[in-house]
Amino acid sequence: MPRLGWQRHIAAVIVALACTIAAAVALTFPPLSGRVVDQANIISADVRSAIEVKLGDLEAKSGIQLVVATVASLEGQEIEPYANELFRHWQLGQKDKNNGVLLLVAPKEHRVRIEVGYGLEGTLTDALSKVIITNAITPRFKDGDFSGGISRGVDDIITALTTDASEWQARPALRLDFQPTDKMINLLIAFIVIAIITGMIISPGFRWFMLNVMIDILLSAATSGSSSSSGGGGGFSGGGGSSGGGGASGSW
């Protein structure tokens, strides 16, 4: 029994490893080189720079990361899972708000999708995404006007996201309300330090506890520190947001 048991476990490890590798090589994504990633090369230069300015403005105003991507191929995948995995790979939107949107165009497969991050599902609904695709995007794509369709689609998405302004305009005010003053923070820190020192003087048990805590903190900082460097490179990068498949798709 023990021998067979260990063999089974080894087999399980191998299977698990194989799964991870299979999942990792399943799809190859273009790098997130900017707000417009035109791998399929279908957007004209002037439209592209105009869109980039609009997308930059949107993020500066509302924090929403809207990215336009065109891919040469979906690699045999349907556009829905491809868009979701690409969205998560790029981590569009802020981590705590999940306020990213991806407009994905696959000219080879004649498919287009608006993938909406968790945090914007209530603003840019599935029905609204569908309306934008069928009214603004696909009619122009049918005539071969990719630049025009994408440009109009971006305009409509931005309108949809910013018209309900009450949602994002209210946020800075809320944040200000809850900002404690420096004095309060200093007082709080002083209080905690005094409490810890007193505890360490009075109780030897507490002393050991604190030592333990400190070593644990150091250890976890050492192990997690290496993995915390994200994106970088000085350019544009995702903010850690995720998507659960909201949005809509269309074809032409």
Residues that bind other proteins (CB under 8 A): 9, 12-13, 16, 19, 23, 78, 80-81, 84, 125-127, 129-131, 204, 207-208, 211-212, 215-216, 219-220, 243-249
> Which residue number, 71 or 116, has a Cβ lying nearer to other proteins?
116
* Nearest residue to 63 (alpha-carbon basis) of 92, 88, 42, 40: 92
Question: Which of 141/236 has CB closer to other proteins?
Answer: 141
What the block records as the tokens of 203 is 């109780």
Nearer to other proteins, 77 or 162 (CB): 77
Q: How far is the CB of 20 from other proteins (least distance, A)?
A: 9
Q: Which is nearer to other proteins, 95 or 207 (CB)?
A: 207
Shortest CB 44 distance to other proteins, Å: 30
Q: Give the closest residue to 58 by CA, choosing from 1, 107, 101.
A: 101
Q: What phi-psi label fits residue 230: left (phi over 0), alpha (psi between -120 and 50 degrees) or beta?
A: beta
Angstrom distance (rounded) from CA 92 to CA 83: 12
Residue 36 Cβ vs other proteins, minimum distance, rounded to whole Å: 25
Phi, psi of 61 (to 5 degrees): -80, -45
* Structure token pair of residue 164: 């309900």
Q: Based on CB atoms, which residue is closest to other proteins, 127 or 173? A: 127
User: Based on CB atoms, which residue is closest to other proteins, 75 or 78?
Assistant: 78
First to last CA, the chain: 60
- Give whichever of 33 and 212 is closer to other proteins, judged by the CB atom: 212
As measured in angstroms, the least distance from the Cβ of 177 to other proteins is 31
The pair of three-digit structure tokens given for residue 217, joined into one six-digit string:
């903190």
| Closest separation in Å from C-beta 205 to other proteins | 9
Minimal distance, residue 76 CB to other proteins, in Å? 11
Residues 6+ apart with CB under 8 A from 51: 35, 36, 43, 68, 150, 151, 154
Handedness of CA 58, 60, 66, 72 (dihedral sign): positive
Q: Which residue has the tokens 């506890």?
A: 209
Phi and psi based region of residue 95 (left: phi greater than 0; alpha: psi -120 to 50; beta: remaining): alpha
Q: How far is the CB of 249 from other proteins (least distance, A)?
A: 8
